Amino acid sequence: MCFEIKERDLLARIGRLKTKSGGIETPVLFPVINPAIQPISPREIAEKFRCKALITNAYIIKKHYGEKAVRQGIHRLLNFDGVIMTDSGAYQILVYGDVEVKPEEIVDYQEKVDTDIAVILDVPTGWNVSRKQAEKTVNQTLARAEALWKIKSRKDILWVGPVQGGKFLDLISKSAKEIGKFPFQIHALGSPTPVMEQYQFEVLVDMIMVAKMNLPLERPLHLFGAGHPFMFSLAIALGCDMFDSAAYAIYARENRYMTEYGTYRLEELEWLPCSCPICTRHDAEDLREMPKNEREKLLAEHNLYVCFEELRRVKQAIVEGRLWEHLEMRCHSHPALLSALKKLGKYADYIEKHTPVTKKSGLFYLGHLDLTRPEVIRHRRKIMKNYSPPERAKILVLLPQTREKPFHKAREQKRFRKLIEEKLGERAEKLHVCTYAVPFGVVPNEIDEIYPLSQHEAAVPLDIETIEYVAQQVANYIERTNYEKVFLLDIEEWKGRIEASCRSVCKKKRIKLFTFKAEKWDRLAAENFAGLISEIILKEN
């Protein structure tokens, strides 16, 4: 195995990829190097940015340097000691329709220049193509993938097996399943560039997820052309481990200034909203007045600083178990990204399955978009399928959430339970106290210290979608259990939705519901609610 996973959150992994030129930590960004028009040298990129991996195009290298690259080797040619990945020229097929090289030639050339990671000459699907053409590209790519193992001669190069299919998700699924049967060390999603250029990130979610769900999980996934930092967190959360970017240089040539939340044109900027070495030494006017070549180099450096900084932020979020929070913050920077975040609900069960059960920190609940995060999905599934109330519990008591956690240690609950025990004695054992809470729904007292039921903070006031969700989960819980009575303490914050859900399901099941309304959950509400319950139970007995 050349890939070792060290940390996980959502589908993201911090891993270690071993190559013959050393190991690199993922998620990793490969800056694209084009020696003919390179604003920053590979040596500078290595020294200034502590960059350990680059990508260049083997087809372009072959055309411009030919045997010189073979004699020197790709590392010496580029003057870079780290890991070098070579693309095969497939992007040129997408742009120009064809390349003047055969698949077996480019395999042989990548071996001869001594690359570390190589890509077969796949056939990109592109975007505005017919289904028939898309099927052809998938089949041709799979045929070339199969042929690789008879062509290649070296065992120390990691080979990338690209997934094609374009906008046809069933073809992506087929491509991923079939190419995953070959012993590639790395896979890549092909043809995403037009989707990203048009900000169709909800489509990108489908493409990545369909590929990810059908590829071997133990292999890293490369996303071609994902060069803008404002979408790193989305791609990484979906399980992409590797990226390549020419955007840092292309944007610099066009006087475009990257930030982690979007891109500015240099002429639009009064101030530089960044503290990288470039932006601390220069202001916007300085950059505008510079000669073009000097300005292009400095903008390219700034763009790389922003890319690597965002990558480090994402990695730290993975380690802390806060990738969802970071992702949500980034996705609120653009409507297209927010649409992509909403699309994650379609794959919520799969993401939950591969998300760690416990984390180093609690979660922040900011609003109804968080209802699809793995922790919420996991609790809903477990409470509905795996949980059973205590045997002696015949009466459900529903109390509202408290700011203090765990809920059963909150002073309101302690006061309530003390009064119940004093008034009912042994009869109190029939009562099962649960909390209805954001974002989990029903939280039985005996499990409310289990992560993350007490390890979270929720923003208030609650939005109506959140209230409706909790109300529905309460109703679902009552539906599948066998309580004889339900007592509900309903406070104004919940806008009557909890009571309405309880009333509907209790009527359906023909069990009694007793509701006590209070303005807020405090000592007085605890005393009055305990008195109501005790009076009813004692009267019936």
Cβ 491 vs Cβ 518: under 8 Å: yes
User: Shortest CA distance to 376 belongs to which of 494, 446, 469, 481?
Assistant: 469
The tally of CA atoms less than 13 A away on the side-chain side of residue 93 is 20
pLDDT the model gives residue 106: 94
**Tens-digit pLDDT profile for residues 67-76:** 999 999 999 9
Q: Which residue has the tokens 């008591």?
A: 397
pLDDT the model gives residue 1: 65
The phi, psi pair for 337, rounded to 5°, reads -70, -35
Four-way CATH pick for 3-353: 2.60.120.280, 3.40.50.720, 3.20.20.105, 2.40.110.10: 3.20.20.105
Q: How confident is the model at residue 513 (pLDDT cuts 50, 70, 90)?
A: very high
Mean pLDDT of 360-374: 93
pLDDT the model gives residue 36: 83
How are the residues of the chain apportioned to helix, strand and coil, as percentages rounded to the nearest 5? 50, 20, 30
Residue 217 pLDDT more than 70?
yes
For the beta carbon of residue 73, count every other beta carbon within 10 angstroms. 14
Mean pLDDT of 199-212: 94
CA pair distance 250, 31, nearest whole angstrom = 12
Where exactly are the structural domains of the chain? 3-353, 387-540
Pairing of strands 3-9, 485-491: unpaired
Q: Which residue has the tokens 């300005």?
A: 295
pLDDT the model gives residue 90: 72
CA pair distance 155, 402, nearest whole angstrom = 60
**Tens-digit pLDDT profile for residues 274-299:** 999 999 999 999 999 999 999 999 99
CA pair distance 223, 241, nearest whole angstrom = 8
Residue 189 pLDDT more than 60?
yes
**Tens-digit pLDDT profile for residues 294-306:** 999 999 999 999 9
**Tens-digit pLDDT profile for residues 37-59:** 899 999 999 999 999 999 999 99
pLDDT the model gives residue 4: 96
Instruction: Please state, for a pLDDT cut of 90, what percent of the chain lies above it.
Output: 89
Tokens of 329: 């913050």
Quote the pTM value. 0.93
Q: How confident is the model at residue 312 (pLDDT cuts 50, 70, 90)?
A: very high
> What is the rounded average pLDDT for all residues in the chain?
94
Residue 181 pLDDT more than 80?
yes
Residue 83 pLDDT more than 60?
yes
pLDDT the model gives residue 325: 96
**Tens-digit pLDDT profile for residues 372-427:** 999 999 999 999 999 999 999 999 999 999 999 999 999 999 999 999 999 999 89
Instruction: Please state, for a pLDDT cut of 70, what percent of the chain lies above it.
Output: 98
Residue 97 pLDDT more than 70?
no
CA pair distance 367, 462, nearest whole angstrom = 7
Q: What is the CATH number of domain 387-540?
A: 3.40.50.10630
Question: What letter does residue 368 receive in the DSSP assignment?
Answer: G
Residue 29 pLDDT more than 90?
yes
Long-range pairs for 16-19 at CB < 8 Å and ≥24 separation? Answer: 17/158, 17/186, 17/220, 17/241, 17/242, 19/83, 19/116, 19/117, 19/158
Mean pLDDT of 351-364: 92
CA pair distance 464, 472, nearest whole angstrom = 12
pLDDT the model gives residue 94: 60
Q: From the candidates 9, 87, 122, 244, which is the catalytic residue?
A: 87
Q: How many residues does the chain have?
A: 541
**Tens-digit pLDDT profile for residues 130-145:** 999 999 999 999 999 9
Residue 168 pLDDT more than 80?
yes
pLDDT the model gives residue 93: 65
123-127, 153-157, 424-428, 450-454, range with the lowest pLDDT: 123-127
* Annotated catalytic residue 370: no
Q: How confident is the model at residue 447 (pLDDT cuts 50, 70, 90)?
A: very high
Cβ 190 vs Cβ 222: under 8 Å: no
